[in-house]
A and B are shown apart, each in its own frame.
Chain A
Amino acid sequence: MSANLFNYLLKLGDDRVVMGQRMAEWCGVGPILEEDVALTNLCLDFIGQGVSLLGKAGEIEGLGRNEDSLAFFRDDMEYKNTLLVEQPNGDFAQTIAKLFFFSTFDIIFLNELTKSKDEYLTAFAIKSLKEAKYHFRHSSNWFLRLGDGTEESNTRLQNAIDNLWLFTDELFDMDEADLELVNLGIAVDLNIVKAQWLEKMNEFFTLSKVKPTNPDCFMIKGGRKGIHTEHLGKMLAEMQILPRTYPDAQW
């Protein structure tokens, strides 16, 4: 049970750490100053949520690892995030499409998680849901503007959706350990989330005049099991180099 919960917390935490770290790459190079500031603020939310979850995971594991050791001293094969969040930022449209897919998922997921029987997960969900509503508002507004904007912005958003769509189904994957936690009322049943997520997507695809060219395409998965695309390793190398080179560095 505690091993299951540890793994569950890692999955949730890693999604957020990787989402945040990837988004931080926009710092200083955003398309406009306001957007640069917005994206980096969003990234802080994700990192902060990741810190909460990984910190709790370390506590439950009981081997003396904390959020920093879990984030900085695990290799890519030990990371449990979905492939979606580790994908490169691409252009602004791709960043927005990813944020829109993820924040829509997040609202539905966190809303379900507020009913968890685990006190910590409930508290985490209530707190993070407030933030996710702002993430969704920001990304959905851009999703509409880009999709229903110029020919150029529509094309770019369309390409972004086609680049990312095949990674989305992994968000709803559950393994046996997860199902045990679902039965105990601790974890969220992702089938419920998936149905609502698809409904929301279709609503916005219509409004934004874009849609996946091949909605039933083959879905690529693996991140939850530690099998990642080449992009994660490179990102972690940059993220981890300082604490690994100077393991006792303080800042």
Chain B
Amino acid sequence: MVKIDKETAFSILENVKDPEIPLLSIIDMGILRDFYYDNNKAIAVITPTYSGCPAMTMISDMVKDELVKAGLENVEVISQISPAWTTEWMSEKAKSNLKASGIAPPIKMQMTELFNIKFNDDKIECPFCNSNNTKKTSEFGSTACKSLHYCNECSQPFDYFKCI
């Protein structure tokens, strides 16, 4: 029976891409949290970015497939919500890949206030021309983790990956 260590598992699972953003792996995204053995069963731990992320089942299946392909037999993928996923887990590489694919990466933002009706995300830097002369057109974009923006400089609409 094939047994691999955590480091090997992570390098194998680098092949699993986020179905919504195929430029990023689940490791870049901080979705893959852990890999360990419970008796002889290999356990991979993933966490959802948002509670309702519709990609979780697909990611779970892909993780399992990838590990089985590597020769593992007894594999389980579990999803846990604690600690809660945060955009701060995204690697620098992830952020620059996001930008390269036309999605503005999350900026640093103070999210501690409970009732905040104005965040500082209405002048997000355009991922195409780097201008800050942009406006937010909608609080939610193609997925719950993004909002929609428009660049007044280069007339491009773009997604921004929200801070959470």
The answer to whether A111 has its CB under 8 Å from any CB of chain B is yes
Q: Give the interface residue-count category, chain B.
A: 20 to 34
CB distance from B114 to the nearest CB of A (A): 5
User: A48–B117 contact, CB under 8 A?
Assistant: no
User: A126–B52 contact, CB under 8 A?
Assistant: no
- Near B by CB (< 8 A), chain A positions 119-160 give 119, 122-124, 126-128, 130-131, 133-134, 136-138, 140-141, 144
User: A123–B50 contact, CB under 8 A?
Assistant: no
Q: Please name all residues of chain A whose beta carbon is closer than 8 Å to the beta carbon of B143 when the two chains form the complex.
A: 41
User: B116–A133 contact, CB under 8 A?
Assistant: yes
Q: Give the interface residue-count category, chain A.
A: 35 or more
Give Cα distance in the complex from A128 to B54, angstroms: 16
Main secondary structure on chain B at its contact with chain A?
A: loop
Main secondary structure on chain A at its contact with chain B?
A: helix
User: B140–A37 contact, CB under 8 A?
Assistant: yes
Cross-chain contact of A127 among B51, B54, B116, B139 (Cβ < 8 A)? B51
Give Cα distance in the complex from A133 to B114, angstroms: 7
Chain A 13-37 interface mask (CB, 8 Å, partner B; 1/0): 0000000100000000000001101
Cross-chain contact of A45 among B51, B82, B142 (Cβ < 8 A)? B51
Q: Please name all residues of chain B whose beta carbon is closer than 8 Å to the beta carbon of A42 when the two chains form the complex.
A: 140, 144
The answer to whether A47 has its CB under 8 Å from any CB of chain B is yes
Cross-chain contact of A140 among B117, B144, B164 (Cβ < 8 A)? B117
Q: Please name all residues of chain A whose beta carbon is closer than 8 Å to the beta carbon of B114 when the two chains form the complex.
A: 107-108, 111, 133
- Near B by CB (< 8 A), chain A positions 98-122 give 104, 107-108, 111, 119, 122
The answer to whether A95 has its CB under 8 Å from any CB of chain B is no
Interface CB pairs A-B, < 8 A, 10: A37-B148, A41-B143, A42-B140, A47-B52, A48-B53, A130-B84, A131-B144, A134-B162, A137-B117, A138-B139
Residues in chain A within 8 A of chain B (CB atoms): 20, 34-35, 37-38, 41-49, 51-52, 104, 107-108, 111, 119, 122-124, 126-128, 130-131, 133-134, 136-138, 140-141, 144, 200
Q: Please give me the 6 A-B residue pairs with the lowest Cβ-Cβ distance, nearest first.
A: A48-B52, A48-B51, A123-B82, A44-B52, A34-B138, A38-B140
